Homo-oligomer: A and B are copies of this chain.
Amino acid sequence: MKKLMNEAGSVVEDALRGMAAAHPSLRVEGGVVYRAEAKRGRVALVSGGGSGHEPLHAGFVGFGMLDAACPGEIFTSPTPDPIVAATIGTDGGAGVLHIVKNYTGDVLNFELAGEMVEGVEVASVLVDDDVAVLDSLYTAGRRGTGATVFVEKIAGALAEEGAPLAEVARVAADVDARSRSFGVALTSCTTPAAGKPTFDLPGDQVELGIGIHGEPGRSRVRLAGARELAEIAVEAVHGDLPFQDDLLVMVNGMGGTPLIELYGVFAEVEAFVRGKGARVARSLVGNYVTSLDMQGFSLSVCRADDELLRLWDAPVSTPGLRWGR
């Protein structure tokens, strides 16, 4: 294993030091990443989960998106304590929305944290967009993956406009309900602690429906071309929730895949979407929800409407996503 790190046990801590040093807009305290300048009087958004998916979640803290992120150790849920601190620390009197990816540990610890907090109105939205498998290694029900970016961006825009907690929670859940994802792995990821690939994948095979922690997908097939792999992902997503009108589409890199390859995949995805009579209204191509050094991509699609597109287009200023400001 070759990694740029000091020791396996300090990877997350070292990265948080780096984030704080690189981004004056962020403040790191007690292992929680906050906006340096909090805005009071509006709903706050808190997310979190295991590390190793950067820029998710800490890279999405900032204007128009999250107020705080609670990173756990690599692929490990944060404990309730930092979630409690983040919830209390970001509440501006209008309540806090927890955005939780559907993994058993995350769900449990956010739930516990919500019960431990006193005097803060807390709502929660579960992200469970991955159509690959029902129930998985760390999950009851569908896994939460790429749609988290859609939920955090759109709910963040709404919170920034001053919408009340119930409304922000409702729209966040609606975005999740409209979103589906599917991932394809060319290689396994390697966690710093294990020091060897999480799973074995022969040199001529790909894993379809991979999870972002290397959880097994649906099947393995012979390595195919970008067009064929894009079609498999498109059909998996479209087959679960048929494309319609305007779509938000993300072709996301798993961490070790060059951008030039992701654009090649996006070209195929866009053509398939058109072929189904729908339209890519907005898109992201790049590394947003990664799995350490895994090679591969995931496709996430959200059936948007005018209001969701308006919120998507609203200014955002975070290390991982920035426009209009």
Residues of A within 8 A of B (CB): 2-7, 11-12, 14-19, 21-22, 51-52, 54-55, 59, 186-187, 203, 206, 223, 225-227, 229, 255-268, 270, 280, 283, 285, 287, 290, 292-293, 295-297, 317, 322-325
Contact = CB atoms under 8 A, between A and B. Distances in A.
Contacts of A5: 225-226, 261, 264
Contacts of A11: 260-261, 264
B263 A22 contact: yes
A74 to B, nearest CB: 8
**Most chain B CB atoms below 10 A, which of A256, A260, A297:** A260
Contact of A21 (B255, B259, B280, B324): B280
B258 A54 contact: yes
A55 B259 contact: yes
Given A267-B14, A267-B18, A225 B6 contact: yes
A113 B270 CA distance: 34
A283 B22 contact: yes
Given A6-B225, A223-B2, A265-B4, A260 B15 contact: yes
A290 B226 contact: no
14 contacts: A2-B186, A2-B295, A4-B265, A5-B264, A14-B263, A14-B268, A15-B263, A16-B263, A18-B266, A54-B259, A54-B260, A255-B259, A256-B293, A259-B290
Contact of A267 (B17, B59, B257, B323): B17
Chain A contact residues: helix, strand, loop or mixed: mixed
Contacts of A18: 262-267, 270, 285
A14 B59 CA distance: 29
**Most chain B CB atoms below 10 A, which of A223, A226, A256:** A226
A173 to B, nearest CB: 28
A7 B261 CA distance: 11
A258 B261 contact: no
Contacts of A14: 226, 263-264, 267-268
Contact of A263 (B19, B187, B203, B267): B19
Contacts of A55: 259
Contact of A4 (B17, B186, B255, B287): B186
Contacts of A4: 186, 226, 229, 257, 261-262, 264-265, 296-297
B256 A256 contact: yes
B7 A266 contact: no
